[in-house]
Amino acid sequence: MKINTDQPIFHERTAVTTTIASFWDRISEGWNMVWGPHIHHGYYENAESLSPLEAQVKLIEKLTEMLVINQHSHILDAGCGMGGSSIYLAKKYNASVTGITLSPNQVKIATQKAALENVPNTTFKVEDALSLSSFADNTFDLVWSLESCEQFYNKKLFIEQALRVLKPGGTFMLATWCSDREVYENQYANKYKKLCLAFDLPYMPTIEYYQQQLKECGFKITSSADWSQRVKKSWDVGISLVNAYSLVKILKISGWRGLRFAYQIKMMRDAFKENRVKYGVFLATKP
Ligand SMILES: C[S@@+](CC[C@H](N)C(=O)[O-])C[C@H]1O[C@@H](n2cnc3c(N)ncnc32)[C@H](O)[C@@H]1O
């Protein structure tokens, strides 16, 4: 078997959208109980001991260190989950943030959380990041996409849309899981396919693929890095968190899909350990 990582394994748009929406609808509340509001890696330097939440906030801080954000910034959080980043950015910088996700349940959780924390400068809605049809051209100063692009069934369409909705001079922050090579064969192809199916990733291209797409779409790349070594500990942390819960409890809070996900965490831990998955962080400007 041979698989190219720049082409979707599954690409029927409606089926992918429905699967992803129902996955997050089903497991978000359980995730919030076990992990908290952020659905992304933590950032670990040296041997520091951070709680999972502290490490996740540190990842956001490391990303924002590279950006200019202030009270005038209008931000699109593309694939906003339960609003973890949106609420952080709105609170810390007093920026206006619009979060979009495929999951109505995530919109509900994020909206309630923003109201509870008194963050009126956020809005959440169901919208497909690949069309962004309710947003006019040149609307945002920053498009923030933290660990959502791996679930997009057409990466190029999203990059084109990000370019369209950004103002000239605006910044695109893309942090996403990437493959370590363009083509997998035999047992590696098999492992790649299993991983993609387990995590609802239509495909997972390389860091070089993203660099090329960003350039071809018209972005000017200002930074491109691999943070795998900084984030991979998150999977061991995730396994310990899940191990603290009984199977019955996981089943109760997030159903069969949540239970299946809990088992699948080990697959991703191993993929990071074997350097089959990279953590690409790209910053790019709209000319
Ligand atoms: C792993 S979660 C990351 C959530 C959030 N960025 C965070 O860091 O907490 C992936 C998110 O991407 C969203 N997503 C996946 N495909 C999408 C699409 N085509 N359009 C909009 N959102 C999408 C999912 O609904 C989910 O909210």
Convert the pLDDT of each residue in 78-124 to its tens digit.
999 999 999 999 999 999 999 999 999 999 999 999 999 999 999 99
CATH number at residue 64: 3.40.50.150
Structural domains in the chain (count): 1
Could you give the percent of the chain with pLDDT greater than 90?
A: 83
Beta strands 220-226 and 183-185 are unpaired
Distance 128 CA to ligand 1 centre (A): 10
| Span of 15-29, 130-144, 204-218, 269-283 with lowest mean pLDDT | 15-29
Q: Is the pLDDT of residue 47 over 80?
A: no
User: According to the model, what pLDDT value does residue 242 have?
Assistant: 83
Q: Is the pLDDT of residue 46 over 80?
A: no
Distance 39 CA to ligand 1 centre (A): 9
Residues in contact with ligand 1 by the CB-under-6-Å rule are 20, 24, 38-40, 79-81, 84-85, 100-103, 106, 128-130, 146-148, 151-152
User: According to the model, what pLDDT value does residue 192 have?
Assistant: 97
Q: Which of 36-50, 169-183, 227-241: highest mean pLDDT?
A: 169-183
Q: Which residue has the tokens 């899940």?
A: 242
To test the pocket of ligand 1, the residue of 57, 63, 148, 152 to mutate (highest count of ligand atoms within 8 Å of its CB) is 148
Distance 152 CA to ligand 1 centre (A): 8
Residue of the nearest CA to atom 7 in ligand 1? 39
Residue of the nearest CA to atom 13 in ligand 1? 79
User: According to the model, what pLDDT value does residue 260 have?
Assistant: 82
Q: Which of 26-30, 149-153, 246-250: highest mean pLDDT?
A: 149-153
pLDDT, tens digit (0-9, with 9 covering 90-100), for 254-268: 788 778 888 889 999
Could you give the percent of the chain with pLDDT greater than 70?
A: 100
The residue segments making up the domain with residue 28 are 2-285
User: According to the model, what pLDDT value does residue 13 have?
Assistant: 85
pLDDT, tens digit (0-9, with 9 covering 90-100), for 151-182: 999 999 999 999 999 999 999 999 999 999 99
To test the pocket of ligand 1, the residue of 145, 151, 268 to mutate (highest count of ligand atoms within 8 Å of its CB) is 151
User: According to the model, what pLDDT value does residue 33 have?
Assistant: 86
Q: Is the pLDDT of residue 11 over 80?
A: no
Average pLDDT score over the chain: 95
